[in-house]
Amino acid sequence: MRVLFRTPSFALNAVANSLIFPGLLVVWFIAGSGGSGLDSGIPGLEQLFASGQAEPIRALVLSAMLAWLSGMNMVAASAFSREGARFWMGRGLALPVTTIVRGKLLFAMAYNIAAAVPAAIVCQLILGLGVGYLMASLAVGLIGLTWATVVSMAIDAFRPYLTWNHPQRAMKNSLNGIIAMLVVTGAVVGTGWLVSKAIELGVDGPALLAAAAGLFAVMAIACARWLFVAAGNSYRRIEQ
């Protein structure tokens, strides 16, 4: 945490990446669509949102947005790389690797949850969900956010970029962040495709939300196992 916020390059990249999309969404909504709704000017969405499944679809859009944005800000995807040459110091602590990794994960989760608040507010103002679907959407989004955070950290733990010579390079020049973005984007798009097929088959809204939550939960558990194994292997490599 101290490394992130005491290093201007790290802090600027993290905050900017977290706020830029909600800001662009506000600009698009006000200037581009004239404030007429999320579906304005987007082919296919107007008809989809006018269907009987409009409310759960909007809820899933919010959930997907929260998960996707968590994979875009580079905080989790640089959790190990940000330490650079000081990475070995973690093993100097009288703590097991699992405790160190758990601490990093909790910080990344806390940051991503905080960063999701403005995005959730903006999306809710646009989507206008009812209270019930809003709560369900936030719950599914939290599970998706957890998965996106865990998989991004696991990618960085698997191949940490520790040879940077300037803090800017740790986040901007690391392929881990790009890989994490692609993985999270692909998973969100793939989930959206599965949802569209389920809608065609007549699956109702609550079942769609439950299925999305279950899918994200399974992926989060699997990636958490990978994270702890990958981190343990990386720490063992520096001991050799």
Of the candidates 191, 183, 59, which has an alpha carbon nearest to the alpha carbon of residue 126?
59
For 233, other C-beta atoms within 10 Å of its C-beta total 12
Say if residue 40's pLDDT is above 70: no
pTM for the structure as a whole: 0.81
- Helices in 74-174 by DSSP H: which ranges? 97-127, 131-158, 167-172
The total domain count for the chain is: 1
159 vs 92, higher pLDDT: 159
Radius of gyration of the chain (CA): 19
Q: pLDDT, tens digit, for every residue of 181-240? A: 999 999 999 998 898 888 888 888 889 999 999 999 999 999 999 999 998 888 777 655
Domain that holds residue 38: 2-239
Mean pLDDT over residues 166-171, rounded?
A: 65
